[in-house]
Amino acid sequence: MAATIAVLKERLAGETRVAITPETAKKYADLGLTVLVEAGLGDGSSIPDADYAAAGAKVVKTAAEALKAADILLKVRGPSPQESAALKKGAIVVASLDAYNNGPALAALAKQGASAFAMEFVPRITRAQVMDVLSSQANLAGYRAVIEASQAYGKALPMMMTAAGTIAAAKAFIMGVGVAGLQAIATARRLGAVVTATDVRPATKEQVESLGAKFTAVEDEEFKNAQTAGGYAKEMSKEYQAKQAALVSEHIKKQDIVITTALIPGRKAPILVNAAQVASMKPGSVIVDLAVEQGGNVEGSRVGEVVVTKNGVSIVGYANLPGRIAADASNLYARNLFAFVGLLLKDGAIAPDLEDEILKAALVTHGGAVVHDGVKGAGAAAKPAPKAAAKPAAAKPAAAKPAPKTPVKPAAKPAAKAVAKAVAKPAVKTPAKPAATKATVAKPAPKAKPAAQTATKTPPKKK
Ligand code: NAD
């Protein structure tokens, strides 16, 4: 019997993206799979149910209906414990599980005997580029961050020479030059800003310069070795951080727009801009903190809010920036998932080879337990996975193999070219639905805020 792929509506507030599009629904159907989508699935990404139906999917009224039939469940965010409990024993789940931070959800998946794959753990190897949700979404987030900044900034970005005089170009400073940062540099440059950027990884200097921006960082011995074998940033020493902070302090007060994107996998985001630095900026300047959901790079940023400081600096802390360009984000995410699901199938039937290095790296729960070394603690802390192993996940021989041990971080060498490629092909043609432009509701100042903060605005609600 054909395997069934089910896709549920996302229930996390503000999650507008979807894990399947009509394009990928058709591709699954062409492979002989039965595709079930919950009614209203694509509302946030402007995809009507009829388009899914036309692509060969069956639109079902309730999540329960989809869950009970699912051999493979696709989601953007991981399923809630309630959703997991409604899965068939041993179903496969593919989603961005945010596995480092979701102990209870992992425990629920393990309890159900699900084989859950965390898309954020797909290694950054060449073969997996097409499945790299971190890159596809970060690329759009970097683009969107500049759009949000320009919207919150009361001036133009490019230099303009007019009969009434010259408008100076905005100065934009991008902190953290991974995938999102590179796209932010490229977008800000396209809009005419004068762009500088910084990162702790020395490899980024050349990338920044190749995009026509200027690199600004303390380039000492520690900096020269600040990259892991996997291409990620290392946590820097207190001494380096102090030197870098001094440099940033001088630089930042001259900036109109600052976009922070710095992350260290599995850890709280480093603070790159402190309250004093924020207070040194000019009124009307804008900071966008892309790391706000991981603890924030900017002192005073708040998830889902625009904080306006006493000195008139707006700190934009919107969560889920890819969700603010949902149609494109869904298209890319769904294609990433389609490529990944291909590894789970053989001749249209579910037959994952758990020795495949991509599946191995992404497998988080299997056979009734949390099996990923990097998150075992998280699952156990929340709710221990049952000791008596549940049934093997997929009902195929390969899935019955013992759960593999996998590294926490992707071990692949970074492919700078791949990143540059992603940046070179920006989504410039399809404008996202405009995020509503005015933050209308002023919230009372939060209690535990830095001195510079005075008011917060809620972000506009998206439909
Ligand atoms: P990320 O989201 O983990 O971090 C964003 C950036 O923040 C990184 O460039 C990091 O160096 C930087 N950062 C961390 N701490 C900082 C600090 N204190 N100050 C300034 N910057 C700081 O990064 P990412 O976009 O996921 O990229 C991580 C690596 O993976 C990069 O080497 C990238 O080239 C590589 N990559 C490889 C592939 C591939 O091979 N297919 C695809 C995408 C990314």
What residues are labeled active site?
A: 124, 129, 132, 135, 232
Cα(98)–Cα(361) distance, rounded to whole angstroms?
14
Q: Which ligand 1 atom is the nearest neighbour of the CA of 269?
A: 15
Ligand 1 touching residue 201 (CB < 6 A): yes
39-57 burial: b if 16+ Cβ within 10 Å, else e: bebbbbbebebeebeebbb
- Cα–Cα nearest to 136, from 303, 294, 340: 340
Quick one: pLDDT at residue 225? 86
Q: What's the pLDDT score for residue 183?
A: 98
Lowest pLDDT segment from 27-31, 53-57, 227-231, 419-423: 419-423
CA 236 to ligand 1 center in whole angstroms: 14
Please work out whether the CB of residue 350 comes within 6 Å of at least one atom of ligand 1.
Answer: no
d(CA 424, CA 429) in angstroms, rounded, equals 13
pLDDT (0 to 100) of residue 439: 34
Sheet holding 453-457, edge to edge: 214-215, 194-198, 171-175, 257-260, 286-289, 314-316, 306-309, 453-457, 442-443
Q: Which atom of ligand 1 is nearest to the CA of 244?
A: 19
Give all strands (DSSP E) within 276-423, no chain letters.
286-289, 306-309, 314-316, 345-346, 349-350, 363-366, 369-370
Q: Is the pLDDT of residue 397 over 50?
A: no
DSSP string, 366-408: ETTEE--TTTHHHHHHHSPPPSS--S-SSSSGGGGSPPPP--S
Number of H helices, E strands in the chain: 15, 21
Within 10 Å of residue 194's Cβ, how many Cβ atoms? Answer: 20
Cβ-contact 78, 116 below 8 angstroms? yes
Mutate to test the pocket of ligand 1, among 132, 175, 199, 234 (most ligand atoms within 8 A of CB): 199
Closest residue by Cα to atom 7, ligand 1, is 262
Paired tokens of 33? 């799979």
Between the CA of 287 and the centroid of ligand 1 the distance, in Å, is 20
pLDDT tops 90 at residue 307: yes
Residues across the chain: 463
d(CA 336, CA 305): 30
Q: What does the CA dihedral 299, 300, 304, 310 come to, rounded to 10 degrees?
A: -140
Residue by residue, DSSP assigns 1-69 as: ---EEEEPPP-STT----S--HHHHHHHHHTT-EEEEETTTTGGGT--HHHHHHTTPEEES-HHHHHHH
pLDDT of residue 378: 59
Mean pLDDT, range 378-382, rounded to an integer: 47
Using DSSP, state whether 161 is helix, strand or coil.
strand
Categorize the per-residue pLDDT at 415 as very low, low, confident or very high, splitting at 50, 70 and 90: very low
Residue 137 confidence (pLDDT) above 90: yes
Span 155-183, pLDDT tens digits: 999 999 999 999 999 999 999 999 999 99
Residue 176 near ligand 1, beta carbon < 6 Å: yes
Return phi, psi of residue 370, to 5°: -80, 120
Q: What is the pLDDT of residue 410?
A: 36
What pLDDT is stored for residue 107 in this prediction? 96
**pLDDT(446) > 80:** no
